[in-house]
Structure 1
Amino acid sequence: MSVPSEAGGVRLELICGDEAAYSSTLDQLVSDHVASRMTSQDPTLWGPDAESEAGKRLSWVSLGESSRPLVDEITALRDELLAENVDHIVLAGMGGSSLAPEVICATAGVELVTLDTTDPGQVAAALADSLDRTLLVVSSKSGGTVETDSHRRAYEKAFTDQGIDPTQRIVVVTDPGSPLQQTAEDAGYRKVFLADPDVGGRYSALTAFGLVPTGLAGADIGQLLDEAVAVSSALAADDEHNPGLRLGALLGVAHNGGAGASGSDGAGSDGAGSDKVVFADVGSGITGFGDWAEQLIAESTGKLGLGLLPVVVENSRAPGFADAKKDAIPVYLGGVEGSPEPTSGWAAGVSGPLGAQLLLWEYATAVAGRIIGINPFDQPNVEEAKKQARALLDAPDQGSTEEPQLTDGAVQVFGMGFDLSSASTLAEAVQAFFATAPELGYVSVQAYLDRHADRSAADLRSAVALRTGLQTTFGWGPRFLHSTGQYHKGGHPNGVFLQITGAVARDLAVPDRPYTFASLQHAQAAGDATVLADKGRPVLHLHLTDRAAGIGQLLETL
């Protein structure tokens, strides 16, 4: 184990499987002035192919200071709202627009309703909750996110139906010049916050996207920025004790199987390195940090057949962490001291306040991208599933008559990209599906369900991991499409995909649109499955004709 290091309130404890490769890479990062160049927003750090994108995606390095004027602006609006008895904050946002706010508010212990779903039951439940006290924050960087636009339309109608002026109950966060800015100004919504356009969504935790909903909900966003500022000088230093360089070097070198800053010498398609980062909280004091880091790491690194797959587990005793194999880098959120030696030889313990860790992991991920040999600021495969979903929305009858390959109890079974012809039961179908997974691959469980009413579906992660011995992720659809979806298509091609959908008891219209929330949810699931299968990824789609019974049946089968 390396000597623990502390800087700017952050403590690192690193276990290095190849001390020579790690030290050599760290020395090279220091001599190349990577930290200071990143802090000065040098777009050349990731090679000529990445320079154009990096040139407009590096403002996140100074957000601790540049976002400071937002604090008073947000606080003033919160005071106005409280004077009007409006204290129930609902955030309509996907990916980077919702993941950081959810972690910030949960850690601060303040209520924020995060609406990042197309499940009609979950949307209807949110609409029925405290509408008379609700402010909706509509948050979209592009201004064209279909889920977020659908939520805005539904809330605008609900407010109007209840005799509430929607213009006084909707606040928008978006980039300058986006379609959403124009919509908000035309409608006369209460306030429009324009975010820094030179920050990508997954690096936007300390921009208006992270601060507006959390500040309005009551979190201390000034303290969050203070924590980021406290670690900034350490992250900018060309020094071997820089925590961003140290953590980034570990992630990159572990991925590359001990090789340094050349993705071509690393794990690549041969899987020689440790290509999964497994997060367990061991007393960090931060709630749900792994869910935010999941998007940052997966979307930044998962491309060109390379990258690090984040796996968020329930605790340090959970399958996938306690029994992690050589393909995994265990990350102890709260400290690694006293932990067993990891099979891969690589592990990290990270502790410190939330604001500091947000900035630390952003630096470390960008550093790891340089070592792996990818552009950490683009997302070349994200649009593929969106295009398929749009095509299905434009042709709503397409695929609607597809018959299941078998039905067992409350579960209808569909397979794509592998042979299900010999299966006659759910158990046999599941076994055939798991048999397609490569050694040291991973299983992605994707639940297009209500993450509150159907929350027991999350138990499938540990059940699948126990059954297969493989690293297993769990994502609620469609939220994971804006998080790990890039990695699924662009990262290491060693995943298999268990997609779960459920019968809809009561659909909900999307006002002034030719589709409902259920049809949008179906299109998103079907579109993503098609893209995965077209790339040769096996997909087992299980449709639950009764959600509760189907989840129970599947857990029992596993």
Structure 2
Amino acid sequence: MAEASAGRTDNPLKRLAGCGQAPWLDFISRDFIASGDLYKLVQEDGITGVTSNPAIFEKAIGQGEEYAPEIARLLQEDKLLRREQIYERLAIEDIRGACEVLKPVYEATSGRDGYVSFEVSPFLAHDSWETEQEAHRLWEAVDRPNLMIKLPATDVGVEETKTLTAQGINVNVTLLFSVATYARVLEAYLRGLEQRVARGKDIRQVAGVASFFISRIDSAVDGEIDRRLAEGDPDSAALKALRGKVAVACGVLAYAHLQEVLASPRWAALAAKGAQPQRLLWASTSTKDKAYSDTKYVEALIGPHTVDTLPPATLAAFRDHGTVRQSLPGDVEAARAVIAEAERLGLDLPKMSEKLLAEGCTAFEKAFETLLDAVEARRMEVLGISEPIAPKLISCKAAYPLWVEETASCCYFTPECEDDELIQRIWARDPKVWTGGKEGEWLGWLSAPRDGLEHIKQYEDFARDVKAGGYTDVLLLGMGGSSLGPEVLKEVFGHVPGWPELHVLDSTDPEQVAEMAAKVDLAKTLFIVSSKSGSTLEPNILFAYFWAAAEKALGKAPGAHFVAVTDPNSSMEKTAKEHGFGHIFFGNAQIGGRYSVLSPFGMVPAAAAGYNVRGLLENALLMADQCNPEDAWDALSLGKGLGCVGSGSSSNKVTFVGSGKLAAVGPWLEQLLAESTGKQGKALIPIIGEAPGAPDKYGEDRFFIDLRMAGETQDPKLKALLEVMDYSLAPDWVDEKYPGYEIQMDNLLQLGQVFYLFEFATAVAAAMMEINPFDQPDVEASKVETRKLLSTYEQTGKLPPEEPFAVDGDLAFYADPRNAEALKKAAGGRTDAVSLLKAQLERVKPGDYVGLLAYIARTPGHIAWAQEVRHMLRDGLHVATAAEFGPRFLHSTGQAYKGGPNTGVFLQVTSDKAKDLEIPGHPYTFGVVQAAQARGDFDVLAARDRRALRVHIRGPLEEGLKKLSQALQIALKEADHVRGS
């Protein structure tokens, strides 16, 4: 561009200064500054300023290769940089570079010129507090006096112009399309100066411009004129005469208003203190209509106290053949006549102005988003990270717009805020997103991926220590959130050669505890005791047992073989220090158990087993970045879908299907959904481990989540189910498929993304359901009842006596008086197993679910038994089924079963223990603890008025399970016969 002026003695650009106008360049890029081209424009063409906007940076950073090396360098220095941070560092360096080039102009004009504009994020156009905070942050980051912070002329932008001007920050207000808006902007500038004077501050170095977008006005007006002409408008002659005149008329009238203000006593008072006028800046001066001269708008608006910011093509055109004359103040009366004629012809200029402002903001948002996407693509390329996973809606064509875009209408729930505001408020840790209680104290999981990567060296050092220690096994002792996340990692990543094998124990069943003790080499096992508070019963008694076992195997105090993962200042920290644990890792006290997998509670066992902790956290961070207000579509869509079915709908049976290893994600997701949402009579009821069946075996109450690896074929039965089922409960918005989502992973490390995606979506769902997703009151209720029973045992040496209301051989039946009476009445007074089970099954209604709650060892054989029974019940009753093992489900689905809707019909299974285990230092055994937990669980179910029946197997367990299964099979047939008749 600079070369074109070489050899010219009469450069129109340089002559603009003689008319009181400053030519600025509407362009910026790294190479343009570094090559000296900007400096040449300043020296040879008299350019005295630079403007930038998201569209300009999108072209500079997003479409070229010049920034690629710098992005790579930044990420080498800090791999945790987000795309927004990378963009800002690039842009700030460019803005600083331009400011340095223009610094001599700034100094020569005593701060009257030489400015470079830098725009706040266009996503903040309607957020006053965020706009002010970002303006200050950018002002301080650039740290140059000749910077101008650019704000859009929204209501927020106008108000912040006053605020920032009063604070001594230079402001460029952009996207002006009407004289009325300009008058408000100028008033805001004046008031800002006056406030600054009132505070005793200097105003001599405070500058401002108001950017009037000229050619866009004519484009809008001419477009409307051309439309009316094409329709044969009777005012065609008058309309034709108005083409190309409105924009300049608006500019002339805006300038007239500036002249009036500068002639006022009010301005004289400010000028006496050294105030600079807020100059009118003519933007968008390139012509869009080829019928007009390419210098039309530049030549028509030249005058004192103005700036013309020229894109490169317009600058070159004006330099080549522009005509310089002082065209302002212009013919004001003629300009008024043009505006009056436009009004007479029904051209709604105020409405057009509003539309142009909205379209301008949207255009900048889109350009900014495109820019950030380009930076993100570079970031992922440098870091070797694949694209983020994206849930795909798997419902019919009619479901998509209603489900995702108009969720409120399909679930009769109206959120208090728009989607982007909801996400912003979650990130702002605003408890009013949910119930306004203590939710804000439990949002540490939002930053868990970044926090983990900031401490990655601690994980990696620990991993090296474990490998060097010669351990063959790592045994995690925990319960609920402390165990379910690590269990997923173990099942998905398996045993890494050269590293110890990870095992997870979260049971008080004596058979299961003994089996684990025999499975590992106690002398070569690293024990991880995982407990947030340190007061949870199960980890404490498991620690007591395995401490004694390890001490015996090693022949010495085994402290070096133990690791604690706990919250700071917990009783577990005290225990770990007293016993000389080899390591203590502290979790974030603001992260609840079910949200803790990406915190030390999940990453410590992962590191010990040799898993790629860094890769998991980097993937989680990628998803966290996707959950920002601008990009949270996927998490928001999934969360709104879940929230919709959880807000009182019977279609709340969230059925998880995971292919291969990914089936292991189910128990973790089960806890997250059930414990977060099962309150106030609402819940998402997770159904995991249920194999897909024939369509005619299902009720009309399902929401599916299908997780599989990319390239894997969808389960044929699930595919058939999703394709042919008629979801008639909501025929207006789902025609042929059950609603739900499918998610495909490209690699196993994207499990980190899955964790974060569902954590965020669950928080969104809870917001829609108007519940607190971070408490678990009914889990606590079960713990209280268990403690009461164990207290009695400590005092008396036995649990409180209980009597079955019916016995059939080795099967004894228990229930609270209400349930017992109802069952006996339904059974016609018969007390055999088939009659009682039939009576219980006949209580199941459409939309209910059956919960099989087995307080027995979770062995492969018993899992197979539970699966056989639950599928038999599903196929016979056409309802969702859950097969759970106690006590682990108490810290998971137990919350939803008690605090959610009363749609569960429960069959609890307990048994005598053939072999029990003593717990060192405790008066009770594992068998006693498990029995107390089962009874405490059952008591709370009864207190919540649930339909619950307990079957206790008195004889050999395997024979009792077989007899129970047979009785259920017969009862189901008879119940179906009764129902059919």
Query: Closer, same or farther in 2 for the Cα pair 1:347/1:556, shift >3 Å?
Result: same
Corresponding letter in the other structure for 1:106:
E
Residue aligning to 2:835: 428
Residue aligning to 1:9: 389
Any residues of structure 2 matched to 1:216-295 within 5 Å, and which?
A: 216-239=608-631, 242-256=633-647, 267=648, 272-282=649-659, 286-295=662-671
Q: 2:871 aligns with which of 446, 462, 471?
A: 462
Residue aligning to 1:119: 509
Aligned residues: 532
Corresponding letter in the other structure for 1:116:
D
Any residues of structure 2 matched to 1:369-384 within 5 Å, and which?
A: 369-384=766-781
Instruction: State the alpha-carbon separation in 2 of the partners of residues 61 and 202 from structure 1.
Output: 13
Q: 1:340 aligns with which of 712, 716, 723?
A: 723
Instruction: State the alpha-carbon separation in 2 of the partners of residues 298 and 439 from structure 1.
Output: 20
Structure 2 residue 358 is the aligned partner of structure 1 residue 358: no
Structure 2 residue 572 is the aligned partner of structure 1 residue 180: yes
Q: 1:83 aligns with which of 468, 479, 482?
A: 468
Any residues of structure 2 matched to 1:17-416 within 5 Å, and which?
A: 17=399, 19-20=401-402, 22-25=404-407, 30-48=418-436, 50=437, 53-110=438-495, 111-129=501-519, 130-162=521-553, 163-239=555-631, 242-256=633-647, 267=648, 272-282=649-659, 286-317=662-693, 323-334=697-708, 339-344=722-727, 345=734, 346-352=739-745, 353-396=750-793, 401-416=801-816
**Secondary structure of 2:432's partner?**
helix
Q: Is the 8 A contact 1:463 1:555 kept in 2?
A: no
Q: Is the 8 A contact 2:490 2:503 kept in 1?
A: no
Instruction: State the alpha-carbon separation in 2 of the partners of residues 431 and 151 from structure 1.
Output: 39
Instruction: State the alpha-carbon separation in 1 of the partners of residues 962 and 761 from structure 2.
Output: 40
Q: Is the 8 A contact 2:475 2:505 kept in 1?
A: yes
Q: Percent identity of the aligned residues? A: 34
- Displacement after TM superposition at 1:25 (Å): 3.6
- Displacement after TM superposition at 1:553 (Å): 1.7
Residue aligning to 1:3: none
- Displacement after TM superposition at 1:173 (Å): 0.4
Q: Give the number of the structure whose alpha-carbon radius of gyration is greater.
A: 2
Query: Closer, same or farther in 2 for the Cα pair 1:299/1:222, shift >3 Å?
Result: same
- Displacement after TM superposition at 1:526 (Å): 0.5
Deviation track 1:499-543 (CA, whole Å, cap 9, x = no partner) reads 111221111111111111011001000011011112211221111
Q: Which has the higher contact order (CA 8 A, sep 6+)?
A: 1
Give the unaligned 5+ runs of structure 1: 1-5, 257-266
- Displacement after TM superposition at 1:479 (Å): 0.2
Instruction: State the alpha-carbon separation in 2 of the partners of residues 21 and 13 from structure 1.
Output: 9
Instruction: State the alpha-carbon separation in 2 of the partners of residues 59 and 143 from structure 1.
Output: 19
Instruction: State the alpha-carbon separation in 2 of the partners of residues 478 and 199 from structure 1.
Output: 23
**Secondary structure of 1:171's partner?**
strand
Structure 2 residue 907 is the aligned partner of structure 1 residue 503: no
Residue aligning to 2:43: none
Q: 2:902 aligns with which of 490, 493, 510?
A: 493
Residue aligning to 2:42: none
- Displacement after TM superposition at 1:348 (Å): 1.5
Corresponding letter in the other structure for 1:24:
E
Q: Is the 8 A contact 2:699 2:846 kept in 1?
A: no
Instruction: State the alpha-carbon separation in 1 of the partners of residues 791 and 945 from structure 2.
Output: 25
Corresponding letter in the other structure for 2:839:
A
Which 10-residue stretch deviates more, 10-19 or 64-73?
Answer: 10-19
Which 10-residue stretch deviates more, 139-148 or 212-221?
Answer: 212-221
Corresponding letter in the other structure for 2:482:
S
Query: Closer, same or farther in 2 for the Cα pair 1:75/1:428, shift >3 Å?
Result: same
**Secondary structure of 1:288's partner?**
helix
- Displacement after TM superposition at 1:273 (Å): 4.1
Deviation track 1:235-261 (CA, whole Å, cap 9, x = no partner) reads 11335x7110010111112333xxxxx
- Displacement after TM superposition at 1:411 (Å): 2.3
Q: Is the 8 A contact 1:443 1:495 kept in 2?
A: yes
**Secondary structure of 2:946's partner?**
coil
Residue aligning to 1:262: none
Give the unaligned 5+ runs of structure 2: 1-385, 409-413, 496-500, 709-713, 728-733, 970-981
Query: Closer, same or farther in 2 for the Cα pair 1:145/1:399, shift >3 Å?
Result: closer
Instruction: State the alpha-carbon separation in 2 of the partners of residues 75 and 406 from structure 1.
Output: 58
Query: Closer, same or farther in 2 for the Cα pair 1:147/1:361, shift >3 Å?
Result: same
- Displacement after TM superposition at 1:495 (Å): 1.1
Deviation track 1:288-318 (CA, whole Å, cap 9, x = no partner) reads 111100010011111000121111133333x
Q: Is the 8 A contact 2:807 2:832 kept in 1?
A: yes
- Displacement after TM superposition at 1:89 (Å): 0.7
Q: Is the 8 A contact 1:34 1:238 kept in 2?
A: no
Instruction: State the alpha-carbon separation in 2 of the partners of residues 84 and 233 from structure 1.
Output: 37
Corresponding letter in the other structure for 2:565:
V
- Displacement after TM superposition at 1:86 (Å): 1.1
**Secondary structure of 1:314's partner?**
coil
Corresponding letter in the other structure for 1:83:
A
Query: Closer, same or farther in 2 for the Cα pair 1:231/1:291, shift >3 Å?
Result: same
Deviation track 1:268-297 (CA, whole Å, cap 9, x = no partner) reads xxxx441211111246x5241111000100
Query: Closer, same or farther in 2 for the Cα pair 1:522/1:337, shift >3 Å?
Result: closer
Instruction: State the alpha-carbon separation in 2 of the partners of residues 109 and 523 from structure 1.
Output: 34
Instruction: State the alpha-carbon separation in 2 of the partners of residues 519 and 104 from structure 1.
Output: 31
Instruction: State the alpha-carbon separation in 2 of the partners of residues 466 and 507 from structure 1.
Output: 37
Q: 2:847 aligns with which of 440, 454, 457?
A: 440
Deviation track 1:442-487 (CA, whole Å, cap 9, x = no partner) reads 1111111111263333223223222322211111100000001111
**Secondary structure of 2:915's partner?**
coil
Instruction: State the alpha-carbon separation in 1 of the partners of residues 898 and 883 from structure 2.
Output: 16
Residue aligning to 2:964: 554
Instruction: State the alpha-carbon separation in 2 of the partners of residues 207 and 374 from structure 1.
Output: 24
Q: Is the 8 A contact 2:651 2:847 kept in 1?
A: no
**Secondary structure of 2:529's partner?**
strand
Instruction: State the alpha-carbon separation in 2 of the partners of residues 147 and 445 from structure 1.
Output: 22
Deviation track 1:390-435 (CA, whole Å, cap 9, x = no partner) reads 1111112676543333333442222334234323321111111112
Corresponding letter in the other structure for 1:426:
A
Instruction: State the alpha-carbon separation in 2 of the partners of residues 84 and 18 from structure 1.
Output: 54
Which 10-residue stretch deviates more, 161-170 or 524-533?
Answer: 161-170
Query: Closer, same or farther in 2 for the Cα pair 1:376/1:530, shift >3 Å?
Result: same
- Displacement after TM superposition at 1:9 (Å): 2.8
Q: Is the 8 A contact 1:477 1:525 kept in 2?
A: yes
- Displacement after TM superposition at 1:231 (Å): 1.9
TM-score, structure 2 normalization: 0.52
Q: Is the 8 A contact 1:9 1:230 kept in 2?
A: no
